[in-house]
Amino acid sequence: MITAGLDLGTQSVKAVILKDREVLSRGKAFSGFDPAKTAEQALGEALKAARLSLSDVNHVTATGSGMDLAPNSNSTISMMGADAQAGVYLFPNARTIIDVGAEEARAVKCDEKGIMMDFVVNERCAAGAGAFIEAMARALEMKLEDMGPLSLKAERASSINASCVIFGESDVVTLIHRQESKPEIARAIFDAMADRVSSMVHRLGVNPDVVLLGGVARDVGFVASLKRKLGVDVLIPEYPEYAGALGAALVAAKRVKKV
Amino acid sequence: MNSQSVEKKYMPEISQKEIEELRNTIQATSQKIIAENIEKMKKTDPDRPKAMQYFDEMANFVTREKEIRAAKEKGKKVIGYTCLFAPLELVLASGAIPVRVSSGWYDAAKLGDRVVPVEVCPVVRSTIGAKMIGLSPYLEVSDALISVLTCDGMTKLGEILSDYKPVWPMTLPRVKDSEQSTRLWREEIKAVKGQIEALTGNKVGRKQLKSAIELTQKATKAFRRLQELRKGSPVIMGRDAMLVNQTYMWDNIERWTEKTAALCDELEERARQKNWACPPDTPRVMVTGTPMIWPDNWKLPTLVEEGVPEGVLVADELCSSERLLYDPVGVDEWSMNDMLNAISERYLMASTCPCLTSKDGNEDRINWLLNKIKEWNVQGVIYYVVRGCMLYAMEYTRVKKVLDRLGIPIYYLDTEYTREDVGQMKTRVEAFLEMLTARIDL
């Protein structure tokens, strides 16, 4: 049984192909003006890597903010539902799944079957999501991928306001003017963002094991801050940015069985 | 002194030209939204009850405004109110027409930003904006306003509206279960009776008050019958029922009662024929929180009943809908004193508004929510809060704890008076509805 999951996010579309619930391949394409075309590209890439064609796929499930625009999909699942499925598949003891993507952070509470029991989403503001780190990296005139490792070198913690990306940026400028070191400013940025995410998770309840998914999980600086703020270990899979697509593909597998 | 020359204490100067431009634009949008909302309601339930036609007409603002203006020409007075604590029976007994003036127009909230900060509750900002440009027919026709000091926003709204017309503030005691509160509120009720009599020139006597109470008792009976019908498999979509409930805020109450009873007759027949408004296994949802006022603020109910997988609103705990008249005025002896005490008790004790507290917090609201969940067989609760609505936001913590303990899914949905966040809201509402079905589906 071959199934596919598509995650149509705000910055990119990810695809995962499964054979009997085992990952065969992944594909990714950056979102342009035509989400349907991007989705086709991502799925095409994954199919090519698996040496399959679309007709070999039994069921395609789409998720993500653009899920209704996905071509060739047989069904959809909410992002939170996909997170819960992927989290428990990757880490069977996972009960709290956090997903931090480009524009949104969310947390899902689930049971041992990966069924969502409750969820929270960050409040209509990018300050708790990846776009915040990107804006701050620009303010610091450095590459996004360098900011995480640099922040780990900070000797003490400064603080900035992360209620808003714009205010956060002006706080960063204040720190630069105060001649704080770059590692400390970088750490302040991750701490502020982790504060937002962790208070959101606390509203849901922190039930171990805690899993972090989404592209931002690759950022060592954010992960270190989040672990400090939550006070528990945070598990991260090898391909965190593909978790949504993986969850969708797992749902597709269940839906094939039902048909 | 000429009233024209009196400087406004709160409201900004705005040219007649701008007023007219804004009013025309917003009115046109409003009529479009009304038509769209009703169209969507018909799409959800193509075989909508015939009796809904009347309520659709009452929802267009135009028909009822004409009627009220005609009554005013014949000397009738109109008394507006912002919150549900205003004693309607006294208004009715004086021969005046009661209308609720809280505003549901999104675009008017943006105008309110010229007067108060954007952090203020949008219901309040929108009502201020509506007044700025004369948008709300019911606010415009009101000769005076009863402003019960409930939440902070409503308290100050009364002050701001006093730039235009007489506003009668009523002090609401906030601890429900105390002797002092009962005494104070009874005094407030008597005082507002005096003001109503002075405005209308009609004395509220025993006979008039008795028939006014009997009138709202009958309305309550029809209202309860409608809500009872929603306990079983859905005979009516939630939006339709909400619209019926909401028109009570401005309709002629006697006629509203007849039309609601006629709707119930039709629904009972449909139940006998098992003619359901949607598949009986559709997830049953209840909403609670900030009032949802027609026509703009209809987005959440629309999302719930339109989404995939679709849900059905079987109950709500909103002061714009089911909280309006569940409780009748309970009179033992029909003496003046007894009737006034009964009115006083009905408006204070029966309210579950979070502006109130008691020895055990707002336990009445918790108990009422639990009762609804059980009786109406609710599978999930959406807790709806608009930004700036502190009291509902703060009461969520306790409600959530109680429902979590019982294993009833509840989701906190925050929003604004805006159309732009419908996409984000849709994602959340769909995820919540999916959660209600996932236990079976996955």
CATH of the domain at A249: 3.30.420.40
First-to-last alpha carbon distance for chain A, in angstroms, is 13
Q: Are residues A32 and A114 in the same domain?
A: no
Residues of A in contact with B381 (CB under 8 A): none
Q: How far is residue B147's CA from residue B162's CA, in Å, rounded to a whole number?
A: 10
Instruction: Count how many domains chain A has.
Output: 2
Tell which B residues from 401 to 430 touch A, by Cβ distance under 8 Å.
Answer: 404, 409, 411-412, 414, 421, 423-424, 427-428, 430
Sorting pLDDT into bands at 50, 70 and 90, what band is B161?
very high
pLDDT tier for residue A72 given thresholds of 50, 70 and 90 = confident
Look at residue B106 and give its three-state secondary structure: helix
pLDDT at position B41 is 95
Q: How far is B384 from chain A (nearest CA, A)?
A: 14
Q: Which residue of B has its CA nearest to A67?
A: B427
pLDDT in the model for residue A23: 97
The pLDDT of residue A257 is above 90: no
- Residue B442 has a pLDDT of 55
Residue B417 DSSP code: S
Cβ-contact A65, A38 below 8 angstroms: no
Handedness of CA A216, A221, A227, A229 (dihedral sign): negative
- CB burial of A159-171 (b: ≥16 within 10 Å; e: otherwise) equals ebebeebeebbeb
Q: Which domain holds residue A78?
A: 1-91+241-259
Residues A141 and A224 in one domain: yes
Return the pLDDT at A163.
66
Instruction: Give the pLDDT score at B308.
Output: 60
Mean pLDDT score, B150-158: 97
Q: Are residues A15 and A116 in the same domain?
A: no
Once rounded to an integer, what is the mean pLDDT over residues B110-126?
95
Q: Are residues A96 and A223 in the same domain?
A: yes
State whether A182 and A158 are in the same domain. Answer: yes
- Tell me which residue of B172, B192, B243 sits closest to B79, measured CA to CA: B192
Q: Which of A78, A114, A254 sits opposite B431 (nearest CB)?
A: A78
Q: Closest approach of chain B CAs to the CA of A153, in angstroms? A: 38
Let me know whether A79 and A20 are in one domain.
yes
Task: Tell whether the model's pLDDT for residue A88 goes beyond 80.
Answer: yes
Pair (A201, A179) in one structural domain: yes
A65-69, B163-167, B210-214, B407-411, range with the lowest pLDDT = A65-69
Contact A79 B431 (CB under 8 A): yes
Reported confidence tier of residue A162, pLDDT bands at 50, 70, 90: low
- Is the model's pLDDT at A133 over the cut of 50? yes
How high is the pLDDT of residue B2?
45
Considering only residues B307 and B289, tell me which one the structure prediction assigns the higher pLDDT.
B289
CA distance B76 to chain A (A): 47
What's the whole-number mean pLDDT along residues B418-436?
A: 91
Q: CB distance A123–B414 less than 8 Å?
A: yes
A119 and B CB contact within 8 Å: yes
DSSP B356-381: -B-TTTTHHHHHHHHHHHHHTT--EE
Compare all CA atoms of chain B with the CA of A203 and give the residue at the minimum distance: B397
Residues of A in contact with B414 (CB under 8 A): 123-124
Q: What pLDDT is stored for residue B187 in this prediction? A: 98
User: CB B438 to CB A113 under 8 A?
Assistant: no
Nearest CA to CA, how far is A78 from chain B (Å)?
5
B78: β partners: B97
Q: Give residue B440's pLDDT band: very low, low, confident or very high (50, 70, 90).
A: very low
**How far, in Å, CA of B228 to CA of B248, rounded?**
18
Q: For residue B146, is pLDDT > 70?
A: yes
CA distance B405 to B423: 31
Residue of chain A with shortest Cα separation from B421:
A124
Which of the four pLDDT bands, split at 50, 70 and 90, describes residue B439? Answer: low
In Å, how far from its chain's centre is CA B412? 20
- For residue B85 the two structure tokens come to 């604590």
pLDDT of residue B416: 93
A-chain CB neighbours of B403 within 8 Å are none
Mutation to test the B interface, candidates A124, A199, A259, most B Cβ within 10 Å: A124
Q: Smallest Cβ distance to A116: which of B412, B414, B438? A: B438
Count of CB atoms within 10 A of residue B348's CB?
22
Give mean pLDDT, residues B315-332: 94
Tell me: pLDDT of B362 over 60.
yes
Query: What digits encode the pLDDT tens for the residues B347-360?
Result: 999 999 999 999 99
The pLDDT of residue A126: 66
- Write down the pLDDT at residue A5: 97
- For chain B, the average pLDDT equals 95
Reported pTM? 0.91
- Read off the pLDDT of each residue in B44-62 and give the average, rounded to a whole number: 96
Q: Do A118 and B409 touch (CB under 8 A)?
A: yes
E strands, B274-311, are 284-289
Query: Which run of H or E residues covers position B151?
Result: none
Q: Are residues A102 and A201 in the same domain?
A: yes
Instruction: Check if A38 contacts B (Cβ < 8 Å).
Output: no
Please tell me whether residues A159 and A32 are part of one structural domain.
Answer: no
Sign of the alpha-carbon dihedral angle for A85, A87, A89, A93: negative
Mean pLDDT of B208-215: 98
Cβ–Cβ pairs < 8 A, chains A and B: 46
Residues A53 and A129 in one domain: no
pLDDT tens-digit readout, B369-406? 999 999 999 999 999 999 999 999 999 999 999 999 99
Quick one: A15 and A54 in the same domain? yes
Binned at pLDDT 50, 70 and 90, residue A207 comes out as: very high
Residue A212 · residue A201 · CB < 8 Å: no
Lowest mean pLDDT among A48-57, A184-193, B183-192, B240-249: A184-193
B5 band by pLDDT with thresholds 50, 70 and 90: low
Q: Looking at this predicted complex, what is its ipTM?
A: 0.83
Average pLDDT of the residues of chain A: 91
CB-nearest partner of B434 from A65, A81, A118: A81
What is the band of B1 on the pLDDT scale with cuts at 50, 70, 90? very low
Same domain, A223 and A146: yes
Partner-chain contact B409 A81, CB within 8 Å: no
List chain A residues with CB under 8 Å of B442: 81, 85, 113-115, 251, 254
Question: Does residue A90 sit at the B interface (CB-CB below 8 Å)?
Answer: no
